[in-house]
Amino acid sequence: MAQGFSSCAQGHTQHLSVQLMGSEMESGTQGTPVLPEHLRNKHLDTLVEEHFFHIEDATLNAKADLGTLLGDVKVVLMGGAADRAEKIAVRLSTAFGWPVQPLGMRERYSLFKVGPVISMNHGIGSPSLMIILHELTKVLQRAGCKDVTYIRIGTSGGIGVTPGTIVVTSEGVNCELESVYEMTVLGKRRRLPAVFDKDLAEELAAVGKRLDFPVLVAKTMATDDYYEEQGRLDGAVDCQYSESEKMEWIQKVCEYGVRNMEMEGTALAAFCNRTGVRAAMVCAALLDRTKGDQTPDQASPEQMGQWVSNSQELVVEWLRGKFTPLTTAA
């Protein structure tokens, strides 16, 4: 039985130049733009003035020197909560010696630049995520960023895994177990593939195993609701299904190879497949849905905090293989 599975499944002056390790994140003029020319939205060329409506401010806007501000960005880390984005930024600063630089308006999203990394929150659910993906990707395209990787670090409900397991997503699936993200554009339904970068997923999982964390690569279900679409029995209204019907569905999902459930994965995978941005998702499972809906029944706040920290540490350790800390001089 694979690790993590349960019964249903098998004064100094800092030099601010960033040193990169490995060929996939080389700086310079070579590399793949965050939005290659054939994918860039040509309608933007007709605008009198472009806007990043939910994040722009006096320093982060289309008239700013975004190349100087953000041109060295190679990795974007994202999660749901604003305070978590800031904590990850501080964690990166501690690990690498990079200064933390807040970015943009913070009414809806919080963004922090830490060396070649942006740490940000995306809110709850695919709509909130898609807004910030569009706006941040436009910003990074204007900044001339190349070879950028997007990684979502989140929490989830596990399915047939021991609470505390870290699931690195191989592909997102919807509530009908299809590996697609659906959106309606001009009244027409579009179905976009929701598969994540296989090599990146395996790379991250290998780091987790090296850290002796319970980690696996598996499918993740993304829903558009926290309650009924996830088969919960603890929402406000009569859900019109029974405990046994819920468990039958959870078992079916588990047998299909889905090991956790959240609300953004298919959208992230679909967006990054369209743009060509390398992407991954790393989520700690805070409970096992085959055993109940209530997280406090299966874990203490201290345990959940540690599991969240483990998922963040996995990604920080992965970054240590890509970047070296700032050097110091007297």
| pLDDT tens figures, 64-87 | 999 999 999 999 999 999 999 999
Helix orientation angle between 126-142 and 265-275, rounded to the nearest 10 degrees: 30
Report which of residues 266 and 25 the model is more confident about: 266
The DSSP 8-state label assigned to residue 177 in this structure reads: S
Say if CB 289 and CB 159 are below 8 A apart: yes
Q: Kindly report, residue by residue over 131-152, the tens digit of the pLDDT.
A: 999 999 999 999 999 999 999 9
Q: Is 91 annotated in some ligand binding site?
A: no
- Window from 6-20, 85-99, 177-191, 314-328 with minimum mean pLDDT: 6-20
Say if CB 196 and CB 269 are below 8 A apart: yes
Cα 236-242-247 angle, rounded to 5 deg: 110
**Domain definitions of the chain by residue range:** 34-147, 152-322
Say whether 21 sits in a helix, a strand or coil. coil
How far apart, in whole angstroms, are the C-alpha atoms of residue 150 and residue 168?
Answer: 13
Query: What's the mean pLDDT when you consider all of the chain?
Result: 91
What is the CATH number that goes with domain 152-322?
A: 3.40.50.1580
The DSSP 8-state label assigned to residue 8 in this structure reads: T
Same fold, 34-147 and 152-322: yes
Kindly report the pTM of this predicted structure: 0.91
CA atoms within 13 A on the CB side of 195: 4
13-14 vs 100-103, strand pairing mode: unpaired
What are residue 324's DSSP bridge partners? 19
How many CB atoms lie under 10 A from the CB of residue 62?
A: 15
**Helix, strand, coil share of the chain (percent; to 5):** 35, 25, 40
What is the CATH number that goes with domain 34-147?
A: 3.40.50.1580
How far apart, in whole angstroms, are the C-alpha atoms of residue 94 and residue 185?
Answer: 44
328-329 vs 19-20, strand pairing mode: unpaired
Q: Kindly report, residue by residue over 8-45, the tens digit of the pLDDT.
A: 544 333 334 455 554 445 444 579 999 888 888 899 88
What are residue 153's DSSP bridge partners? 282
Number of helices (H), then strands (E), in the chain = 7, 15
Q: Is 32 annotated in some ligand binding site?
A: no
* AA identity, residue 302: E
Q: Read off the pLDDT band of 297 (50, 70, 90).
A: confident
| pLDDT score recorded for residue 36 | 87
Q: Is 55 annotated in some ligand binding site?
A: no
| pLDDT score recorded for residue 97 | 97
How far apart, in whole angstroms, are the C-alpha atoms of residue 182 and residue 193?
Answer: 9
Q: What b/e string do you get for 239-249 counting C-beta neighbours within 10 Å, with b at 16 or more?
A: eeeeeeebeee
Q: Is 155 annotated in some ligand binding site?
A: yes
Q: Is 230 annotated in some ligand binding site?
A: yes
| pLDDT score recorded for residue 329 | 38
Say if CB 62 and CB 52 are below 8 A apart: yes
Q: Is 152 annotated in some ligand binding site?
A: yes
Q: Among all chains, which residue has been given the structure tokens 């047939």?
A: 160
Instruction: Please say if the pLDDT value at position 302 is more than 60.
Output: yes
User: Which residues, including other chains, have CB under 8 Å from residue 28's CB and lie 6 or more apart?
Assistant: none
- Window from 5-19, 23-37, 259-273, 281-295 with minimum mean pLDDT: 5-19
Say whether 38 sits in a helix, a strand or coil. coil
CA atoms within 13 A on the CB side of 84: 18
Q: Is 278 annotated in some ligand binding site?
A: no
Q: Among all chains, which residue has been given the structure tokens 């406000």?
A: 236
What are residue 285's DSSP bridge partners? 156
